[in-house]
């Protein structure tokens, strides 16, 4: 009986959060180990389906870097990275689109539907969802001490998000699953970082939350301690002092951009934890780092 009462108390604890987020949109970037482990994949799908059934509107943006890498190897195509971003040639973009917009996207859709959801897979090209342009990275040259432009090929930066297709899917009670591919100014297919897509989609939808699933616990201070909640001013200070750096920096910047555009709260959570989404959204303690406007 005690176990049954404990289960009931857990449900009651979630009630205030269910009321707060009812009919609100939460954009989730799905990637990392959560996309590899079978148990974590099932856990993610169940979390998303439960969110939908209790009245929350989840929108999924997925990554797929490791899957792209493996497929490129099979085709004998070597990958080159600049500051963590894959240089995407014309030869590669067909593989990227096939993997992200095809197998990875449809595997996630099937997984959610198998657990009782109604998911629909789309890419940023569908309904002109993501309008982009080629991204040119500028960095200081160590040799000349002058700025140099690095051409990453068919890598895109987002110009505009057209949310009509997402609003249509939401109105029909579907769960959108978005592959991070956009269309360029000349109609070319562009490979876009999934974190950037998730942030831009959250901004365009005026989402309640943006959640980035990663393979780390969250944001840590200089002592290596996990920070459960951080106001954006503190985050900006941690960036200036280089406490936040390397791979965490672009993720945090995505969160800050979303907050500036009106997203209420942003989260960086450890996707290696079973039911990470529910633990972060429907419990007081949470499991990762919540970044807030104040």
Q: E strands of the chain, at which residues? A: 25-30, 57-62, 81-82, 85-86, 119-123, 130-140, 147-161, 175-179, 181-183, 189-191, 209-214, 229-231, 265-270, 289-292
Q: To the nearest whole number, what is the mean pLDDT of the chain?
A: 92
Torsional class of 11: left (φ above 0), alpha (ψ -120 to 50), beta (otherwise): alpha
Taking alpha carbons only, the member of 225, 223, 226 closest to residue 286 is: 226
Is 142's pLDDT higher than 60? no
What pLDDT, on the 0 to 100 scale, is given for residue 84?
72
Domains of the chain: which residue ranges? 2-79+91-125+170-182+193-288
Is 52's pLDDT higher than 60? yes
Task: Say if CB 270 and CB 37 are below 8 A apart.
Answer: no
Is 19's pLDDT higher than 60? yes
For residue range 79-133, list pLDDT tens digits in order.
888 777 788 888 899 999 999 999 999 999 999 999 999 999 999 999 999 999 9
For residue range 189-244, list pLDDT tens digits in order.
999 999 999 999 999 999 999 999 999 999 999 999 999 999 999 999 999 999 99
Taking alpha carbons only, the member of 123, 122, 111 closest to residue 47 is: 111
For residue range 175-191, list pLDDT tens digits in order.
999 999 999 999 999 99
Is 44's pLDDT higher than 80? yes
What pLDDT, on the 0 to 100 scale, is given for residue 13?
87
Q: Check: pTM over 0.75? Answer yes or no.
A: yes
Judged on CB neighbours under 10 Å (0-12, 13-18, 19+), 66 is middle
For residue range 266-280, list pLDDT tens digits in order.
999 999 999 999 999
What CATH class does 2-79+91-125+170-182+193-288 carry? alpha beta
Tokens of 231: 């106001």
DSSP string, 222-234: TTS-B-SEEEHHH
**What's the rounded mean pLDDT across residues 37-64?**
96
Q: How many beta carbons lie within 10 A of that of residue 239, not counting itself?
A: 16
């Amino acid at each position: 009986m005690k176990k049954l009462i404990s289960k009931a108390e857990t449900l009651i604890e979630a009630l205030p959060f269910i009321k707060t987020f009812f009919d609100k949109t939460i954009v989730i970037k799905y990637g990392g180990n959560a996309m590899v482990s079978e148990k974590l994949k099932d856990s993610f799908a169940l979390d998303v389906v439960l969110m939908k059934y209790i009245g929350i509107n989840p929108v999924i943006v997925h990554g797929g870097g490791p899957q792209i890498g493996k497929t490129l190897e099979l085709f004998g195509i070597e990958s080159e990275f600049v500051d963590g971003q894959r240089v995407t040639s014309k030869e590669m973009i067909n593989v990227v689109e096939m993997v992200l917009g095809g197998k990875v996207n449809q595997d996630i859709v099937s997984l959610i539907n198998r657990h009782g959801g109604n998911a629909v897979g789309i890419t940023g090209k569908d309904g002109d969802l993501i309008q982009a342009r080629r991204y040119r990275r500028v960095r200081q040259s160590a040799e000349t001490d002058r700025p140099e432009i690095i051409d990453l090929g068919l890598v895109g930066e987002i110009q505009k998000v057209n949310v009509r297709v997402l609003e249509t899917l939401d109105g029909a009670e579907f769960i959108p699953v978005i592959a991070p591919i956009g269309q360029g100014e000349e109609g070319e297919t562009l490979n876009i970082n999934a974190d950037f897509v998730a942030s831009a989609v959250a901004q365009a939808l005026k989402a309640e939350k943006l959640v980035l699933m990663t393979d780390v616990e969250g944001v840590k201070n200089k002592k290596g301690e996990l920070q459960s909640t951080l106001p954006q001013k503190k985050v900006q200070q941690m960036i200036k002092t280089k406490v936040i750096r390397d791979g965490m920096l672009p993720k945090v910047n995505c969160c800050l951009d979303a907050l500036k555009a009106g997203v209420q709260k942003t989260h960086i959570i450890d996707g290696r934890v079973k039911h990470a989404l529910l633990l972060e959204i429907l419990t007081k303690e949470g499991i990762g780092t919540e970044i807030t406007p104040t």
